[in-house]
Structure 1
Amino acid sequence: MDFKGFEVIWNNLDYLLWGNFPGGIILTLLMSFAAIIFSTILGIFAGIGLTVWRGFLHQLLVVVLGFLRAIPVIMLIFWTYFLLPVLLNVDVPAIATVIFALSLIGGAYIGHSVHAGMVAIAKEQWQAAFSLGLNKKQVIFFIILPQALKMMLPSFVNQWVSLIKDTSLAYIVGVAEFTFIATQINNRSMVYPTEIFLFVIIVYFIICAALDFSVSVLPRLHLLTRRK
């Protein structure tokens, strides 16, 4: 590998960062952040539904979440790109369809994680909370859910990292995210594919490692600060 080849990265750094704005690394970060937020919200409510609902609604939710977990991410992105404009009767940006698809996929996985965490909470805590006069909604949101979320946080991080990596599949609908831009640069140069895609690997590693560090280390630092 010729280290002089890394000049192609430096010469195209601006384009790799934001492409024809929005694009590149910036767009990957924006899509990842949006997908993480929306999928977490959907997952929390799906987990609550799995825990609280009974009968037909419970079975329907199980089927929907199972379907979303079973289909390939790239197919869901493809379907939402063509289906959402038809359902909404408006022109939906490709970026929005990708975020929507990733949010559904992530929400399905997070929903089962939240459900597992809530079920793991001892039944005595439910009973004790009800005995204090709290209603079901108060018990869930103030007693059970905070414990479940803390317990399942490592599972959440795994899914968030997966969502970040899955943004690279947005190329199928022409979204100019980071790997799409890197591929464009590689197609132009046709000389330094190793250097270009090694840079892609490094950037994804930094993004995912930073997320993992933030979630695992910063809360501990906050606790230490409060104790002082």
Structure 2
Amino acid sequence: MRVDLAALVSAWPFLMKGLWFTLEITLVGVSGGIVFGSLLAVARLSQNRLLSGFATAYVNLMRSIPLILVIFWVFFLVPWAIGWFTNHGRPVAVGASLTIFVTFVLFEAAYYAEIVRAGFRSISPGQYSACEALGLSKLNAYIYILFPQAIRNVLPILLTQTIILFQDTSLVYVISATDLLGAATKIAQRDGRLVEMYLTVGVIYFIFCFAASQFVKQLQDRLSYGAR
């Protein structure tokens, strides 16, 4: 197999544009997923059965459905639903980018919720009693005392889930979004360079994921050493 380096060089700017969109998806999915997931985690721990039941049902539903199916649902069904609720009579254009951002936040929140909930459960019950003794409201107790401890306890797992999220962004190509894999696919189909493009994308994914996994490993070692 003869590798055309000139073709790879000419395709590089387009690949980098796709990589940037992949990183945007990851950033939005992580930030929105952790925020929404933390709310779900608190709801699951709530004494309110209705609130806890809703959060539990949501988490179990999202964790039982493939991400690619959720992408299709949001991309094809949500425009129809918005059109129906607003009496437009036809689907309302949502756009691939907005669809992807919303999908990843909603989907990843279910996974981050379970991770954050495990973090809350790892906190000593005495911490909860101390917050009550100090007269802190539940909101202030979670924000200033409990949430920072919970995140610290599960930080390596949160980062590992983020690596998985980064890999899952490759699924957005099914709605013709130009992420890293989508950009490589379009170039490969245009120039007939399937092997070169997919090898290049594989190397890029490997570099990012391997570097992130090594960082997680070092972080675990530091946290384990600090806990001794």
Is TM-score (shorter-chain normalized) higher than 0.5?
yes
1:75 positional shift:
0.3
| Larger mean Cα displacement after TM superposition, 66-75 or 92-101 | 92-101
**Residue matched to 1:38:** 32
1:11 positional shift:
2.2
* 1:23-71 superposed Cα distances (whole Å, 9 cap, x missing partner): x112112222112111111111111111224312212211111000110
**Residue matched to 2:68:** 74
TM-score by length of 1: 0.84
- Answering whether residue 111 of structure 2 is matched by residue 112 of structure 1, we say no
- Give the letter for the 2:72 counterpart: F
TM-score by length of 2: 0.84
State the number of aligned residues: 213
2:181 aligned residue (179, 182, 202) = 179
- Give the letter for the 1:135 counterpart: S
**Residue matched to 1:224:** none
**Residue matched to 2:202:** 201
**Residue matched to 2:15:** 16
**Residue matched to 1:88:** 82
CA distance in 2 between counterparts of 1:53 and 1:108 reads: 20
- Give the letter for the 1:16 counterpart: L
RMSD of the TM alignment (CA)?
A: 2.3
- Give the letter for the 1:171 counterpart: Y
- Give the letter for the 1:8 counterpart: A
1:73 positional shift:
0.3
1:157 positional shift:
0.9
2:7 is paired with a residue whose SS is: helix
Structure 1 residue runs of 5 or longer lacking an equivalent are: 19-23, 222-228
Alignment of 1:130-149 (within 5 A): 130-149=132-151
- Answering whether residue 23 of structure 2 is matched by residue 29 of structure 1, we say yes
Structure 2 residue runs of 5 or longer lacking an equivalent are: 84-91, 223-228
**Residue matched to 1:62:** 56
Go from structure 1 to structure 2 and tell me whether the alpha carbon gap of 1:197 and 1:6 turns closer, same or farther (over 3 Å shift). Answer: farther
**Residue matched to 1:103:** 105
2:45 is paired with a residue whose SS is: helix
Go from structure 1 to structure 2 and tell me whether the alpha carbon gap of 1:122 and 1:29 turns closer, same or farther (over 3 Å shift). Answer: same
